Every structure is written in C-alpha cells, then in structure tokens.
Structure 1
Amino acid sequence: MKYESNLFIETSSMQWEQVAVGMKRKIMGYNDEIMMVQVKFDKGGIGARHKHRQSQTTFVVNGKFEVTIGNDTKILSGGDGFYIPPDVEHGALCLEEGILIDVFSPIREDFMVGNSSYSK
C-alpha cells in the first residue's frame, strides 16, 4: 500500500490544516482504499461546488449546513448525513458553525500531496 495511517487516531494531538476561508480539516484514518476526514466550518464557510471520482458519505456531527448534491439542496444538522456518488457535483454552505466527518473511497490522493508524513 502506498498510504496507510496509524491504527489509532487521536485528533486532540493533530493540527488543523486550513483549506479555505472558514474551513479546515484533519485527515484521520486512511489507506489506499478509504479515507476519513474531519472538516470544521466557521459560520458562512463554503465548501465550493466540485466533483471527484471517489464515492463520499458524510456525517454531520454538529452545526447546520445547506448541502447541494447535483440539483438537490437540503438543510442538514447534527446527526444527519448524506451520500455523494462518484463524479456528481456537490458543495456546502455552513449556516451555523459545525463539523462534518467525510469518508471517501478510494482515498483522496490530492489531499495527501505536499505532506510526506502521510506516505509509507
């Protein structure tokens, strides 16, 4: 395997990676086939519309988000979730500060670029 995380991930000892205005992440457990990412949004933070080849499922830990998948938009809050098929455009607007847990399959290698600590 090209990528493989530690077996146990303690996010309290990890630094946030700023990825956009009002949005930062911590890459958690992963290998070449799957990846889990914690994403923290400030109110008004935008996950710009984009698409990727990976399947994605997301759990809303807390906060409130306006999520658009394809042409469908829904307001989601803590305890909700959503699924994004491969190559479907999607994005999110944070209405109330919150955290999402994203799971991708296979791994988002573009998230690993520039950080040699992720490679084996």
Structure 2
Amino acid sequence: MPQSFPSVSPEPGVTRQVMSDHPDLMVVSFRFETGAVGSLHSHPQIQATYVLKGRFRVTVDGKDREVSAGDSLVVPSNVVHGCQCLEAGELIDTFTPRRDEFL
C-alpha cells in the first residue's frame, strides 16, 4: 500500500507534499499561489523540476529564467536557486538522493 504524506506550508502561499520517496530518489509537489516565493537556498541533492501548471521566474546560480507549464530544468548539487510564482501553479520536483528533512 502506498504511503501517504501530509501537506506542509514551508513558506507563505506555498504547499509542499512528498509524493513518493526512496533513499535514492524523492518526488515532491510544490503548489504556489500567485506572488509566493520559494526563497533562495541550496542543498547537496541534485534537483530536477517539472512545471505542471502556472508560470514562474526561477533563479539558478544568479541567472533568471521564466518557465511555464511543460518546461523543466535541473539544478546541480549545492547551487543557489529559488523562484517567484507569477501565475498560480505547481512544480513537481525530484531529488537524488532524497531530502530526509522533508519526511
């Protein structure tokens, strides 16, 4: 039976929910209200992000890029990154290895 993970709000206007996890890989949904910010941060995991819906300005290693539904990007290990939601939406992030602090 699949494990169910709770939704949490790590920042105002943002909801995070782990969808599945394994020590080597984690899939996480981030839902954003318009104007919400995913603060600049870094972590040792490699992150791949898929924009399920909405529009975002993402910053990766000091460079800004606008992404929308259907776009994807990879954030290398330990690179500073974050985003601002321009139009309410959802990001599906995968991390390898998993981010244990999300469990």
TM-score, with length taken from structure 1: 0.81
Deviations 1:71-117 (A, max 9, x none): 211000000011000000000000000000000000101111xxxxx
- Residue 80 of structure 1 corresponds to which residue in structure 2? 71
Structure 1 ranges of 4+ moved more than 2 A: 13-16
Alignment check: 8 A CA contact 2:5 2:19 kept: no
1:90 lines up with 2:77 in the alignment: no
1:42 lines up with 2:42 in the alignment: no
Within a 5 Å distance, the mapping from 1:29-68 to structure 2 comes to 29-68=20-59
Q: 1:70 aligns with which of 51, 61, 69?
A: 61
Inter-partner Cα distance in structure 2 for 1:52 and 1:15: 22
Equivalences, count: 103
Indicate the SS of the match to 1:110.
helix
Q: Which runs of 5+ in 2 are unaligned?
A: none
- Residue 116 of structure 1 corresponds to which residue in structure 2? none
Task: Report the structure number with the largest CA radius of gyration.
Answer: 1
Backbone CA RMSD of aligned residues = 1.6
Identity over aligned pairs, percent:
36
Q: Which runs of 5+ in 1 are unaligned?
A: 113-120
1:103 lines up with 2:94 in the alignment: yes
TM-score, with length taken from structure 2: 0.94
